[in-house]
Amino acid sequence: MIKSMTGYGRGWESRNGYSFTVEIKSVNHRHLDLVIRAPRELLPLEEKIRRKIHERLFRGRVEVFISLEISSELSKTVDVDADLARSYYLSLQKLENLFRLGEKQFSALELAMFPDVLKVVKTSPDLEQVAPLLDLALDQAITELISQRAEEGSRLEKDILRRLTLLQKLVAQMRKKGPIVLEEYRNKLHSRLEEILGNQEFDKQRFFMEVALYAERSNIDEELVRLESHLNAFYSNLASGEAVGRKLDFLLQEMNREINTIASKSSDLEISRMVIDGKSEIEKIREQVQNIE
């Protein structure tokens, strides 16, 4: 089954005071363009995150948003600035000596009341402990994203198959019309010569040569054969279940080239109408293929 490049996925895991939320969204892009937005503390894990995503996604602009919540007992710790506390203590002793206040013992609580002796410090997460948790949340998000892309891809595939059927019918109609166009030209040329020459004899060899030249100039059999070949290749790639968006786009370019050649070769109004219809269907398929992985 083909997959769209558009989708969204979310994963969440929580354990031992750590909670990860991973959100992934993707849109169309020629290649895989990956953007990861995560807390700086998780920077050492970014390469591992990229590898995991590259294993399961192949095209699209993919944005990954990672948030980490840490319980207060793990996220913060109280740090003592021992040098500053010692400086406060010595300064207080100087004041006592200077003003002869008598010897006094200062308690730890009193020293702690001075500015910046105690500081609440934010701690970094233990990467070895949180990496498996992030892995689980990331897997959930990728799986949900792929599920959405597959669902959208199924809808695209149905529309593309319907339009491919219309293209096949147009090719069959053009193939059927080809010999009729030649016969119509032969009859029209014959009638024109009779109208101009009346009862006079005309050069039959020249007549047949003219018909043969027209047949060669207007013959679209080769283009139709190649067009059918491209259609068959398109069906095969569509059914492969692989990331074939770029291959399908290339095949559509080739189909368009054959259709344009048919348009330049044929002067028949009915075939011209079929060509216009065919180009319209190819363009509509191409719009859909732009969103296929």
pLDDT digits (tens, 9 = 90+) for 229-243: 999 999 999 998 888
Whether residue 12 sits in one domain with residue 143: yes
Is 77 inside any structural domain?
A: no
pLDDT digits (tens, 9 = 90+) for 104-116: 667 787 777 888 8
Is 15 inside any structural domain?
A: yes
Domain finish residue from 97, 116, 135: 116
Instruction: Decide if 243 contacts 59 (C-beta within 8 A).
Output: yes
Whether residue 143 sits in one domain with residue 48: yes
pLDDT confidence of residue 184: 61
Residues in the chain: 293
Whether residue 155 sits in one domain with residue 106: no
Residue 150 clears pLDDT 90, i.e. is over it: yes
Whether residue 144 sits in one domain with residue 131: yes
- Please tell me the distance from the alpha carbon of residue 177 to that of residue 193, in angstroms, as a whole number: 24
Pick the closest to residue 8 from 62, 52, 55 (CA basis).
Answer: 62
Percent of the chain past pLDDT 70, that is, above it, reads 81
Instruction: Decide if 50 contacts 35 (C-beta within 8 A).
Output: no
pLDDT confidence of residue 33: 96
Kindly list the distances between the CA atom of residue 247 and the CA atoms of 160, 162, 265, 286, in Å, as whole numbers in the listed order.
15, 19, 28, 11
Q: Sign (positive/negative) of CA torsion 260, 266, 268, 270?
A: negative
- Please tell me the distance from the alpha carbon of residue 243 to that of residue 248, in angstroms, as a whole number: 10
Residue type, 137: A
Is 51 inside any structural domain?
A: yes
Residue with tokens 């399908």: 248
Is 155 inside any structural domain?
A: yes
Residue type, 12: W
Is 121 inside any structural domain?
A: no
Whether residue 182 sits in one domain with residue 146: no
Q: Which of 74-88, 143-157, 218-232 has the lowest mean pLDDT?
A: 74-88
Whether residue 208 sits in one domain with residue 96: no
- Please tell me the distance from the alpha carbon of residue 252 to that of residue 240, in angstroms, as a whole number: 17
Domain finish residue from 150, 166, 195: 150
Is 140 inside any structural domain?
A: yes
Rounded to two decimals, the pTM is: 0.72
Average pLDDT over residues 139-168: 96
Confidence of residue 269 (pLDDT cuts 50, 70, 90): confident
pLDDT digits (tens, 9 = 90+) for 65-87: 999 988 866 666 777 888 887 88
Whether residue 223 sits in one domain with residue 99: no
**What is the CATH number for 38?**
3.30.230.10
Confidence of residue 194 (pLDDT cuts 50, 70, 90): low
Whether residue 194 sits in one domain with residue 168: yes
Whether residue 276 sits in one domain with residue 224: yes
Whether residue 155 sits in one domain with residue 231: yes
SS in 3 state form for the chain?
A: CCCECCEEEEEEEEECCEEEEEEEEEECCCCEEEEEECCHHHHHHHHHHHHHHHHHCCCEEEEEEEEEEECHHHHEEEEECHHHHHHHHHHHHHHHHHHCCCCCCCCHHHHHCCCCCEEEEECCCCHHHHHHHHHHHHHHHHHHHHHHHHHHHHHHHHHHHHHHHHHHHHHHHHHHHHHHHHHHHHHHHHHHHHHHHCCCCCCHHHHHHHHHHHHHHHCCHHHHHHHHHHHHHHHHHHHCCCCCHHHHHHHHHHHHHHHHHHHHHCCCHHHHHHHHHHHHHHHHHHHHHCCEC
Structural domain boundaries, residue 104: 82-116
Is 2 inside any structural domain?
A: no
Residue type, 109: L
Whether residue 104 sits in one domain with residue 192: no
Query: Total domain count for the chain?
Result: 3
Whether residue 267 sits in one domain with residue 219: yes
